[in-house]
Amino acid sequence: MKKLNNRGLTVVEVIICFSITAVIVVSLFKIIANYNDKQYIESNKNQVITYKNIVTKTIQSDIINNKGISTLNSNINDNYDSMYNSGIISIGFNYTNGKSASIEINVKEGQEYIYFVNSNNEKEKFPLSDIGNGVVFNEPKIDYDLDNALLNIYVGINHPDLGDKYSVLDMVLPLTSKWNKVY
């Protein structure tokens, strides 16, 4: 019977193998860690988008079901600064069919939420903490164009992982007093 080769590997061969394996493992580890970060960021984005979808759908459905907003309860442009300084921005409006609703944005740090009271007086609160700790509102941009009867609401957020690129409310709302053509 032929004698088996049982010499094994030399130290140099083992070292070369280990170093090649180490290089591969380290590079793979970096790639996987990178994808892990990406997955974390994407899940955060997903939470922000879901929050925005739910809030927007809730408010817009009520507006469309009630044939659009006819008037605002007050001129938001005049009251905006005092409301922002007090920490709660409230926008009340009347619908074309005579019902009314309101949106309240609490910008106080640690208590941030959007609160919507719909035309049937049903209240829904959307806490910003639902999309993660440390998320705060940027100063909302709420502009009521009196000449054109158009309410523009843009509420951006500052997210610890996503920065300030994303918004949770971005609505252009024409008032039916001048805009019956779009409803």
- Half-sphere exposure in the Cβ direction for 60 (13 Å, CA): 14
Among 123, 141, 146, 161, binds another protein (CB under 8 A): 141
Q: Give 81 or 121: the residue with its C-beta nearer to another protein.
A: 81
Q: What angle do CA 76, 79, 80 make, to 5 degrees?
A: 75
How many H-runs (helices) and E-runs (strands) does the chain carry? 3, 9
Smallest separation (angstroms) from another protein to the CB of 174: 7
H-helix segments, the chain? 11-65, 76-86, 176-179
Return d(Cα 85, Cα 88) in angstroms, integer. Answer: 8
- Half-sphere exposure in the Cβ direction for 47 (13 Å, CA): 18
Binding mask 6-45 for another protein (x = CB under 8 A): --------------------------------x---x--x
Q: Give 56 or 94: the residue with its C-beta nearer to another protein.
A: 56
Q: Give 108 or 165: the residue with its C-beta nearer to another protein.
A: 165
Residues within the interface to another protein (CB under 8 A): 1-2, 4-5, 38, 42, 45, 49, 52-53, 56-57, 60, 138-139, 141, 145, 148-150, 152, 154, 156, 164-167, 169-172, 174, 177-183
